[in-house]
């Protein structure tokens, strides 16, 4: 119990430092990355290359494990179907991401330093998640 | 294109990849931020503390970063109404589509999930279209 919380805390810290260092927490940089018909800044492609390049091996190793290295149940997603919720959800998410240049990880990593605007975004995001939960019932 | 930062972005990406690797190999979980956050309300009691711990790490990360580097703050230069609409869309969309840039874009692609590859292509396209409309039209 203690081990899994400590590792999650450390993973969250590492994740956030990675987001800040990479430029993902800079909305102007995100907009520059999505602006392929304008003054395109491809930097954030290197975030994906680095992140996927490293975790690819971890997931390959993980797929052969029945318990994690600290004896937790492995929980890999099992859904396979390409359905309408996946597509509609991704479209809505992409529009929101493009409107402001923030996605969930960078938004949370910016709560303490981003002032009123970031807080407003996070509150709206939480309300959005609550709305989804109500509609799902 | 004045601020191309391939090295910083690559190193940041590697740290994100190490974090996702830790989460799957040690905890057996996907490091998808929208899932970790949005799933708290429905999670089993024993799954709430590690979710909170991961989110606490994210919230504290700027302070850890500032121990080694320049102060950091995200700057949003759009009207409040646009921020609210964007936040609502990101919240609903990431839950309805079962993931965001971290869950689908990093972990999903890394485990070669066809669902995640398609979701990532779709939200990137929607983001590109949105930036085109808001920055190059009207």
State pLDDT tens for residues A51-91: 999 999 999 999 999 999 999 999 999 999 999 999 999 99
CA distance A4 to chain B (A): 6
Q: Measured between alpha carbons, how far is B122 from B116 in angstroms, rounded to an integer?
A: 10
Q: How confident is the model at residue B2 (pLDDT cuts 50, 70, 90)?
A: low
More confident residue, B77 or A9: A9
Q: How confident is the model at residue B85 (pLDDT cuts 50, 70, 90)?
A: very high
Q: Measured between alpha carbons, how far is B60 from B39 in angstroms, rounded to an integer?
A: 21
CA distance A64 to chain B (A): 11
Q: How confident is the model at residue B1 (pLDDT cuts 50, 70, 90)?
A: very low
Spatial CB neighbours of B121, under 8 Å, sequence gap ≥ 6 = none
Q: Which of A3, A4, A6, A16 is the best mutation test for B, with the most CBs of B within 10 A?
A: A16
Q: What is the mean pLDDT of residues A26-45?
A: 97
Measured in whole angstroms, how far is the alpha carbon of residue A90 from the centre of its chain? 13
Choose among B132, B87, B39, B90: nearest CA to A91: B90
Summarize pLDDT for B35-52 with one digit per residue, the tens.
999 999 999 999 999 999
Summarize pLDDT for A87-137 with one digit per residue, the tens.
999 999 999 999 999 999 999 999 999 999 999 999 999 999 999 999 987
Spatial CB neighbours of B44, under 8 Å, sequence gap ≥ 6 = none
CB contact under 8 A, B12 and A48: no
């Amino acid at each position: 119990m203690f081990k899994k919380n400590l590792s999650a805390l450390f993973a969250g810290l590492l994740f956030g430092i990675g987001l800040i260092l990479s430029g993902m927490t800079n909305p102007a940089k995100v907009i520059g990355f999505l602006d392929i018909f304008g003054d395109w800044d491809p930097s954030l492609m290197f975030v994906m290359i680095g992140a996927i390049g490293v975790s690819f091996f971890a997931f390959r190793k993980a797929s052969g494990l029945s318990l994690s290295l600290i004896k937790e149940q492995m929980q890999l997603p099992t859904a396979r179907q390409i359905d309408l919720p996946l597509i509609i959800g991704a479209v809505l998410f992409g529009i929101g991401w493009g409107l402001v240049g923030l996605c969930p990880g960078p938004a949370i990593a910016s709560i303490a330093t981003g002032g009123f605007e970031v807080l407003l975004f996070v509150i709206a995001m939480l309300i959005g998640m609550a709305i989804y939960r109500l509609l799902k019932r | 294109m004045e601020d191309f930062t391939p090295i910083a972005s690559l190193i940041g990406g590697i740290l994100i990849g190490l974090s996702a690797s830790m989460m799957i190999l040690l905890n057996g979980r996907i490091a998808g931020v929208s899932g970790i956050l949005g799933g708290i309300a429905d999670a089993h009691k024993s799954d709430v503390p590690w979710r909170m711990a991961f989110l606490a790490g994210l919230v504290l990360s700027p302070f850890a970063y500032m121990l080694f580097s320049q102060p950091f703050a995200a700057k949003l230069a759009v009207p409040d109404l646009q921020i609210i609409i964007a936040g609502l869309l990101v919240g609903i969309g990431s839950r309805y589509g079962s993931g965001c840039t971290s869950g689908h874009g990093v972990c999903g692609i890394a485990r070669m999930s066809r669902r995640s590859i398609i979701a990532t292509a779709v939200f990137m396209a929607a983001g590109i279209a949105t930036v085109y409309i808001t920055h190059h039209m009207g």
